[in-house]
Amino acid sequence: MPSVDLETFETLLVLVIGAMVGSFLNVVIHRVPLGESVVSPRSRCPHCRHEISWWENIPVLSWMLLRGRCRGCGAAISFRYVLVEILAALLAGLLFSRMGPSGEFLFFTYFALNLLALIYIDLDHQLLPDRLTLSGLVIGLIGAPLVSPDGLLTGFVFALKGVLVGGGLLFGVAWGYEKATGRQGMGGGDIKLLAIIGAFLGWEGALLSLFIGSLAGSVIGVALMVFRGADGRLALSFGPFLAIGAYGTLFWGPQLLEWYFGSLRL
């Protein structure tokens, strides 16, 4: 029987745990916007209220064994549940491959998975709940000093600058837009989300995330207008685009900045 080296075993374990956390994120995504507890009651089918047993709740595998159907009533189970589990596993696996078993890995994995939950909640409800944004902000401010290689004070200043620049920038944009038009533009949730991004990625990371998110939002908005006939008043949730920008910054931030400033010198 071929042996498995420790590094491979650890990576597989992280992927499995990531998928399990992804299963919990599905509960968070469904219940938090409704103001419900994420602990009780146990998961149930939304159609027939069939209580889901442990073997029906194994990430990815149970969906495949049940052929995407509820065992109680046969209603279809959205593939999105599996997608969240897979994405959570991949995010955790990618971060582990870069950071290894460390506090930094736990810190940024929390950040990445919190973003994943916020993406789906915003897509479903056009809402970024305080239970996730404010808790993320607190953990960012507390955790950044603990994982900073430059010490507690430097790490805290790094996070605080990110919060002030990220949140302050969007707050200023929202305030200016409302004063100029009399209409609310940027939501408070988006402001808090960019503040969280700043706490984890610093003020430069917040600005880069905003740039990438705005670019992605513009491209998708134009595509929807062209292919679906939507007009310029089409309302798109900005939270998912900010999260995309944050992912890009988290995984490729230094390379993107180097490419951008290098292109300016040409």
Q: Are 167 and 194 in contact (CB under 8 A)?
A: yes
| Of 92, 91, 111, 89, the residue nearest 101 (C-alpha) | 92
The Cα 240–Cα 121 span in angstroms is 9
- For the stretch 11-47, pLDDT in tens is 999 999 999 999 999 999 999 999 999 988 777 777 7
The arithmetic mean of pLDDT across residues 43-69, rounded, is 82
Query: Which amino acid makes up residue 237?
Result: S
Reply yes or no on whether the pLDDT at 124 is more than 90. Answer: yes
| Residues in a beta bridge with 44 | 51
Coil, strand or helix at 129: coil
- For the stretch 129-187, pLDDT in tens is 999 999 999 999 999 999 999 999 999 999 999 999 999 999 988 788 777 777 766 77
- For the stretch 69-94, pLDDT in tens is 888 888 888 899 999 999 999 999 99
The Cα 79–Cα 77 span in angstroms is 6
Q: Are 145 and 159 in contact (CB under 8 A)?
A: yes
